[in-house]
Amino acid sequence: MTTPRRLLLVNGPNLNLLGTRQPEIYGRDTLADVERVTTEAAERHGHEVRAIQSNHEGVLIDAIHAARLDCAGIVINAGGLTHTSVALRDALASVSLPVAEVHISNITERESFRHFSYIEDVAVVHVIGEGVPGYARAVDLLIDVVVGRADG
Protein backbone atom coordinates (compact mmCIF):
# COMPACT_ATOMS: atom_id res chain seq x y z
CA MET A 1 0.00 0.00 0.00
CA THR A 2 1.32 3.43 -0.89
CA THR A 3 1.36 6.33 1.53
CA PRO A 4 -1.44 8.82 0.81
CA ARG A 5 -0.25 12.16 -0.51
CA ARG A 6 -2.66 14.20 1.58
CA LEU A 7 -2.35 16.11 4.84
CA LEU A 8 -5.14 17.08 7.16
CA LEU A 9 -4.98 20.69 8.33
CA VAL A 10 -6.86 21.18 11.59
CA ASN A 11 -7.56 24.63 13.01
CA GLY A 12 -9.42 24.83 16.28
CA PRO A 13 -11.67 27.28 18.08
CA ASN A 14 -11.53 30.97 17.26
CA LEU A 15 -9.08 30.56 14.38
CA ASN A 16 -11.93 31.46 12.04
CA LEU A 17 -11.48 34.99 13.42
CA LEU A 18 -7.86 35.35 12.33
CA GLY A 19 -7.22 38.76 10.83
CA THR A 20 -9.62 40.50 13.19
CA ARG A 21 -9.06 38.73 16.53
CA GLN A 22 -6.27 40.34 18.54
CA PRO A 23 -4.14 41.34 15.53
CA GLU A 24 -1.41 42.54 17.90
CA ILE A 25 -0.92 38.87 18.84
CA TYR A 26 -2.02 36.94 15.75
CA GLY A 27 -1.39 39.44 12.96
CA ARG A 28 -3.67 40.38 10.08
CA ASP A 29 -3.49 37.12 8.11
CA THR A 30 -6.80 35.28 7.85
CA LEU A 31 -7.76 31.61 8.02
CA ALA A 32 -7.88 31.67 4.21
CA ASP A 33 -4.22 32.80 4.26
CA VAL A 34 -3.36 29.91 6.60
CA GLU A 35 -5.03 27.44 4.26
CA ARG A 36 -3.30 28.96 1.20
CA VAL A 37 0.17 28.91 2.81
CA THR A 38 -0.32 25.33 3.96
CA THR A 39 -1.65 24.15 0.61
CA GLU A 40 1.16 25.83 -1.33
CA ALA A 41 3.79 24.23 0.92
CA ALA A 42 2.20 20.80 0.56
CA GLU A 43 1.92 21.15 -3.22
CA ARG A 44 5.67 21.84 -3.44
CA HIS A 45 6.08 18.30 -2.09
CA GLY A 46 3.39 16.78 -4.30
CA HIS A 47 0.82 16.60 -1.49
CA GLU A 48 -2.67 18.02 -1.17
CA VAL A 49 -4.41 19.42 1.90
CA ARG A 50 -7.84 18.81 3.35
CA ALA A 51 -8.58 21.70 5.72
CA ILE A 52 -11.02 21.88 8.59
CA GLN A 53 -11.70 24.58 11.14
CA SER A 54 -14.26 24.21 13.87
CA ASN A 55 -15.15 25.75 17.17
CA HIS A 56 -16.49 22.34 18.24
CA GLU A 57 -14.14 19.74 19.70
CA GLY A 58 -16.13 16.72 18.50
CA VAL A 59 -16.05 17.92 14.89
CA LEU A 60 -12.25 18.14 15.09
CA ILE A 61 -12.00 14.68 16.65
CA ASP A 62 -14.22 13.19 13.92
CA ALA A 63 -12.00 14.75 11.23
CA ILE A 64 -8.88 13.36 12.90
CA HIS A 65 -10.41 9.89 13.07
CA ALA A 66 -11.35 10.07 9.37
CA ALA A 67 -7.79 11.12 8.45
CA ARG A 68 -6.45 7.69 9.36
CA LEU A 69 -8.11 6.38 6.19
CA ASP A 70 -6.61 8.73 3.60
CA CYS A 71 -4.00 11.09 5.05
CA ALA A 72 -0.26 10.79 5.58
CA GLY A 73 -0.07 13.29 8.45
CA ILE A 74 -1.81 16.03 10.39
CA VAL A 75 -0.93 19.70 10.83
CA ILE A 76 -2.82 21.10 13.81
CA ASN A 77 -3.30 24.38 15.56
CA ALA A 78 -5.78 23.37 18.22
CA GLY A 79 -6.12 26.92 19.55
CA GLY A 80 -7.28 26.95 23.17
CA LEU A 81 -7.96 23.19 23.05
CA THR A 82 -4.19 22.75 23.08
CA HIS A 83 -4.20 23.50 26.78
CA THR A 84 -7.40 21.76 27.80
CA SER A 85 -8.32 18.77 25.65
CA VAL A 86 -7.21 15.31 26.61
CA ALA A 87 -9.82 13.99 24.16
CA LEU A 88 -8.21 15.82 21.22
CA ARG A 89 -4.78 14.58 22.28
CA ASP A 90 -6.09 11.01 22.50
CA ALA A 91 -7.66 11.29 19.04
CA LEU A 92 -4.30 12.35 17.59
CA ALA A 93 -2.53 9.50 19.36
CA SER A 94 -5.12 6.95 18.25
CA VAL A 95 -4.76 7.44 14.50
CA SER A 96 -1.03 6.63 14.31
CA LEU A 97 -0.25 9.49 11.93
CA PRO A 98 2.65 11.91 12.35
CA VAL A 99 1.48 15.23 13.77
CA ALA A 100 2.85 18.76 13.42
CA GLU A 101 1.75 21.16 16.16
CA VAL A 102 1.60 24.81 15.09
CA HIS A 103 0.95 27.97 17.07
CA ILE A 104 0.98 31.41 15.47
CA SER A 105 2.03 33.14 18.68
CA ASN A 106 4.71 32.01 21.08
CA ILE A 107 2.60 30.26 23.69
CA THR A 108 5.56 30.00 26.07
CA GLU A 109 5.72 33.81 26.29
CA ARG A 110 2.03 34.32 26.96
CA GLU A 111 -0.24 33.64 29.95
CA SER A 112 0.95 30.79 32.16
CA PHE A 113 -2.06 28.60 31.33
CA ARG A 114 -0.89 28.55 27.69
CA HIS A 115 2.53 27.09 28.53
CA PHE A 116 1.27 23.50 28.68
CA SER A 117 0.28 21.59 25.54
CA TYR A 118 -1.58 18.29 25.64
CA ILE A 119 -0.52 17.83 22.01
CA GLU A 120 3.19 18.28 22.57
CA ASP A 121 3.96 14.64 23.38
CA VAL A 122 2.05 13.22 20.39
CA ALA A 123 3.49 15.67 17.85
CA VAL A 124 6.75 15.00 16.04
CA VAL A 125 7.04 18.57 14.76
CA HIS A 126 6.54 21.78 16.76
CA VAL A 127 6.47 25.22 15.15
CA ILE A 128 5.70 27.85 17.73
CA GLY A 129 5.58 31.63 17.39
CA GLU A 130 6.44 31.94 13.69
CA GLY A 131 3.15 33.46 12.61
CA VAL A 132 1.24 32.12 9.64
CA PRO A 133 4.47 31.30 7.73
CA GLY A 134 5.08 28.72 10.46
CA TYR A 135 2.43 26.52 8.86
CA ALA A 136 4.61 26.16 5.75
CA ARG A 137 7.63 25.22 7.85
CA ALA A 138 5.49 22.69 9.72
CA VAL A 139 4.44 21.13 6.41
CA ASP A 140 8.06 20.93 5.22
CA LEU A 141 9.18 19.26 8.44
CA LEU A 142 6.19 16.93 8.59
CA ILE A 143 6.65 15.75 5.03
CA ASP A 144 10.28 14.98 5.82
CA VAL A 145 8.94 12.63 8.50
CA VAL A 146 6.24 11.19 6.22
CA VAL A 147 8.70 10.31 3.44
CA GLY A 148 11.38 9.05 5.81
CA ARG A 149 13.93 11.88 5.55
CA ALA A 150 13.55 12.61 9.27
CA ASP A 151 12.62 10.63 12.35
CA GLY A 152 9.09 10.82 13.57
What pLDDT, on a 0 to 100 scale, did the predictor assign at position 108?
87
As a whole number of angstroms, the distance between CA 86 and CA 84 comes to 7
Q: Does the structure show a pLDDT above 70 at 7?
A: yes
pLDDT for res 2? 64
Give 22's pLDDT tier (boundaries 50, 70, 90): confident
**Residue 43 · residue 136 · CB < 8 Å:** no
In a domain, 151, yes or no: no
Instruction: Please give the positions annotated as active site.
Output: 26, 103
Q: Residue 152 has what pLDDT? A: 67
Q: How far is CA 29 from the centre of its chain?
A: 16
Q: Is residue 1 a part of any domain in this protein? A: no
Q: Would 14 be classed as within a structural domain?
A: yes
Amino acid of residue 113: F
CATH of the domain at 38: 3.40.50.9100
Q: What is the identity of the amino acid at 122?
A: V
Binding-site positions for substrate read 77, 83, 90, 104-105, 114
Residue 130 in this model has a pLDDT that exceeds 80: yes
Amino acid at 144: D
Residue 152 falls inside a structural domain: no
The conformation of residue 7, written as its DSSP 8-state character, comes to: E
Print the domain residue range for 96.
6-146
Per-residue pLDDT tens digits for 95-106: 999 999 999 999
For residue 137, being part of any structural domain is answered with yes
Contact 99, 92 (CB under 8 A): yes
Known binding-site residues equal 77, 83, 90, 104-105, 114
Give the count of domains, the chain.
1
- 38-81 residue pLDDT tens: 999 999 999 999 999 999 999 999 999 999 999 999 999 999 99
